[in-house]
Amino acid sequence: MGLKGQLILLIIFVSLLGFLYEKNDEYKEALEYINAQGNTNIVLHDEDYQNYEFFIVSEIHGVNLNYQVKWELLMDLYNKKGVNALLLELSYTSGYLLNEYLKSGDEKILEKVQSFYRGSPFYTLDEFNFYKKLYEYNQTLPVDKRIQVIGIDIEHSDESVKLYYQFNDDNDARIIEYIKQNTDIRDEFYKTRYHSLREKRMYENILFLKEMYGFDACLVQLGAKHGFLEVTSDNYKSLGYYLDKKEDSPYRNRVLNIMLFYQDSQYLESTYFKGELYYKINTLTKSYRKILINSNSSLTIVKLDYENSPFKNKLIDLHQSRKLKVGATTDYYQYIIFINNAEASLPLDKILILTKGEILKKILKLGKHN
């Protein structure tokens, strides 16, 4: 190699070292901020109760501590801001039926609704216990102050629609058409897997349901991709983006996104062998960077948008998959909650959980038949 080639290699090497030093220095600054601002009491900062009306928690489904986060934030928002509308990543009819359970305490209704979502993270013991806890809490409140749940998703289950009409014989043409549209869009979504269709419809559903129920401030816990308030690196526009950015949104510039970051944690995932449903427990190892925070707590919340925050002034992407694109971190979310050493939620049919060895045996067995 000639002198010119050696010089080019040297320049590339020095540039790479500079880049790595800059990235390490950036994460050092981020870590210092996280450790200075971290709080194990899962509450928001005072100004945020005034500044925001739509509160999103962005999660990976199937983690047991998700439910503790949801409960603590719901209680915090209820007590400090009077938020009594909990929106759900479920259909309108399922939300209606869950409210029937919250009124009556009849666990057969809760069990039936969960059965409609067998194979999803909604079909878990943690989910069942969350609604039991919410029912018991509501019993301590005046009827007009109780927390209600509202499904904002497309109609995933025809069984849910059928049961809804058994409970509600109201012939309101507007509601009937609304359910039909969500069912039609469901069919199109499962045929095309065009996820933007679902995001836009959930946004439209919120506008419709806000008018129908009359709620203002609300809390919703969603899969992480639904919550980003800016366009992500794959040019994806989420529900959170539509709520915060669209001109006709009643929550324009009033949306707060709280991102859950998992450390040394597990999650529940469904899987199918020859058409039969099973579950497996996986470890979250690739989604989030490992952050060594000065806390032994299972939950630590960090507000990211103070003036001196590096997350407010630059783009620091703690996602391993590099989801963030341009701008600053706080353009996408304004809080992080670190979840440490969480276990996977357990399905209601616990017998369906497969170990890694059992999964391998089934794969090998299937291979023999192919």
CATH number, domain at 153? Answer: 3.40.50
| pLDDT for the residue 26 | 66
| pLDDT for the residue 351 | 63
Structural domain including 107 reads 37-264+294-344
Do 256 and 47 meet the contact criterion of CB atoms below 8 Å apart? no
| pLDDT for the residue 23 | 47
Whether residue 24 is contained in a domain is answered as no
Whether residue 313 is contained in a domain is answered as yes
Q: Read off the tokens for 119.
A: 């194979």
Do 364 and 287 meet the contact criterion of CB atoms below 8 Å apart? no
Q: Read off the tokens for 249.
A: 């949104």
77 has a pLDDT exceeding 70: yes
Average pLDDT on 349-359 reads 65
| pLDDT for the residue 284 | 86
Whether residue 17 is contained in a domain is answered as no
Predicted TM-score (pTM) of this structure = 0.89
Do 294 and 302 meet the contact criterion of CB atoms below 8 Å apart? no
Tell me what the pLDDT averaged over the chain comes to: 89
Taking the CA atoms of residue 80, residue 83, residue 87 and residue 93 in that order, the dihedral angle to the nearest 10 degrees is 150
| pLDDT for the residue 171 | 76
| pLDDT for the residue 359 | 55
11 has a pLDDT exceeding 50: no
Do 99 and 148 meet the contact criterion of CB atoms below 8 Å apart? yes
Edge-to-edge strands, sheet with 148-153: 148-153, 85-91, 218-223, 54-59, 255-263, 335-340, 299-303
17 pLDDT band (50/70/90 cuts)? Answer: very low
131 has a pLDDT exceeding 70: yes
Do 67 and 350 meet the contact criterion of CB atoms below 8 Å apart? no
Q: Give per-residue pLDDT as tens, 138-159.
A: 999 999 999 999 999 999 999 9
277 pLDDT band (50/70/90 cuts)? Answer: confident
Identity of residue 136: E
Whether residue 359 is contained in a domain is answered as no
Q: Read off the tokens for 124.
A: 């878990």
Q: Give per-residue pLDDT as tens, 280-325.
A: 898 987 778 887 777 789 999 999 999 999 999 999 998 888 889 8
Q: How many residues does the chain have?
A: 370
| pLDDT for the residue 357 | 61
| pLDDT for the residue 361 | 59
362 pLDDT band (50/70/90 cuts)? Answer: low
Residue 362 sits at φ, ψ, to 5 deg, of -65, -40
| pLDDT for the residue 176 | 95
Whether residue 26 is contained in a domain is answered as no
Average pLDDT on 326-353 reads 91
pLDDT cut 70: percent of the chain above it: 87
Whether residue 364 is contained in a domain is answered as no
| pLDDT for the residue 294 | 77
| pLDDT for the residue 186 | 96
DSSP state of 293: -
| pLDDT for the residue 59 | 97
| pLDDT for the residue 5 | 54
Q: In whole angstroms, what is the distance from residue 137 CA to residue 261 CA?
A: 28
Whether residue 7 is contained in a domain is answered as no
Task: Measure CA 256 to chain center.
Answer: 13
Whether residue 335 is contained in a domain is answered as yes
The helix/strand/coil state of 82 is: coil
Domains in the chain: how many in total? Answer: 1
Long-range CB contacts (< 8 A, 24+ apart) of 74-82?
74/147, 74/219, 76/42, 76/43, 76/44, 77/44, 77/49, 77/217, 77/219, 78/147, 80/43, 80/44, 80/49, 81/49, 81/217, 82/217
Q: Give per-residue pLDDT as tens, 165-214.
A: 999 877 789 999 999 999 999 999 999 998 999 999 999 999 999 999 99
Do 33 and 310 meet the contact criterion of CB atoms below 8 Å apart? yes
